[in-house]
């Protein structure tokens, strides 16, 4: 079995070394133009040339949970595309989102500003019942985030394209229940996959349906947000703030107004980083199961885009 590794903007050598150890019977090599045909590929943002030169791939294993960039390419017709379904990312995402929500709810950002000015003072405690948190996207990451928030006794709602059940979460599904979900939400957490249907979904209409004083936490993709609409709603006061970890252009350009807006917290796409050891273990296990003809988790539906 031959496995090729093609990872743009990521050092391939550590992945190759780890995959060789995890798949001792396989020939694992970094892809070079003109390389021999491989059975499986481990990729991150591969160029189209790579896919054009590897038309006989059986499996393409993405070293991340999001496959939106991969779906924009012309893929080998018969290749199965597989994404990571956790690999240590869900606990990181839960940490990040809970921190962002609690920081806003407890007004720690205001206390930080006070401390910088040498001010000592208290704010009236808020009621959790008045801060329902809505999670958009209830896959592996979204479900973990929703349950983590519920542990802090926030009212937690979830919305997904198809019906899901998550313990401790009031679930909504489909377009018919979308408006009701938004109207019931004060803090919105976006964990949707990026597809043609979800691009620009966080626009003036959607965000405007949140309860007054709403707050946005975006940890999915920057292209979900219409930047100008978010800024307008923040400036009007309908939204109290936003914690943004992902952006249309990354790194976020120095001149972008998100950097300077007093109601926006910016972090550099760090909510859930790929952990190499956990990812290699998962990918190797999936490749071995695939070769045995067994079902594997994380197979991407090309029609849906995730």
Q: CA angle at residue 289 from 287 to 290, to 5 degrees? A: 60
CB atoms within 10 A of CB 32: 10
Catalytic annotation, pick one of 144, 186, 221, 224: 221
Give the whole-angstrom CA distance, residue 263 versus residue 104.
10
Catalytic residue status for 269: yes
Nearest to 145 by CA among 179, 185, 101: 101
Sign of CA pseudo-dihedral 297, 299, 1, 42:
negative
Annotated catalytic residue: which of 204, 269, 276, 285?
269
Helix (H) or strand (E) holding 247: none
Give the DSSP letter string of 68-104.
HHHHTS---TTPEEE--S-TTHHHHHHHHHHHHHHHH
Could you say which DSSP state residue 284 is in?
Answer: H
Q: Could you give the CA distance from residue 6 to residue 8 in angstroms, rounded to a whole number?
A: 7
CA–CA distance, 32 with 36 (Å, rounded to integer):
9
Q: Which residues are part of the catalytic machinery?
A: 221, 269
């Amino acid at each position: 079995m031959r496995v090729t590794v093609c990872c743009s903007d990521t050092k391939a050598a550590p992945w190759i070394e780890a995959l060789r150890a995890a798949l001792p019977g396989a020939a694992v090599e970094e892809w070079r133009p003109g390389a021999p045909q491989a059975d499986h590929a481990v990729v991150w943002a591969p160029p189209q040339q790579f896919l054009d030169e590897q038309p006989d791939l059986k499996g393409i294993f993405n070293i991340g949970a999001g496959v939106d960039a991969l779906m924009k390419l012309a893929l080998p017709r018969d290749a199965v595309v597989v994404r990571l379904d956790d690999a240590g990312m869900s606990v990181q995402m839960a940490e990040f989102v809970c921190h962002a929500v609690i920081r806003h709810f407890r007004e720690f950002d205001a206390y930080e500003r006070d401390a910088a000015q040498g001010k000592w003072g208290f704010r009236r405690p808020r009621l959790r019942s008045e801060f329902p948190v809505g999670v958009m996207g209830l896959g592996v990451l979204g479900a973990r985030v929703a349950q983590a928030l519920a542990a802090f006794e926030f009212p937690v709602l979830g919305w997904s394209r198809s019906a899901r059940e998550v313990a401790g979460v009031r679930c909504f599904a489909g377009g018919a229940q979308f408006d009701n979900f938004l109207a019931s939400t004060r803090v919105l957490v976006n964990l949707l996959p990026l597809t043609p249907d979800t691009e620009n979904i966080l626009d003036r209409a959607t965000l405007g349906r949140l309860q007054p004083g709403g707050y946005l936490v975006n940890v999915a993709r920057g292209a979900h947000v219409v930047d100008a609409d978010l800024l307008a709603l923040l400036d009007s006061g309908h939204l109290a703030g936003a914690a943004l970890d992902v952006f249309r252009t990354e790194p976020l350009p120095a001149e972008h107004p998100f950097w300077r807006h007093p109601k926006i917290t910016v972090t550099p796409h760090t909510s859930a980083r790929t952990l190499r050891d956990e990812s290699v273990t998962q990918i190797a296990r999936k490749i071995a199961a695939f070769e045995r003809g067994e079902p594997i988790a994380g197979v991407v539906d090309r029609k849906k885009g995730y």
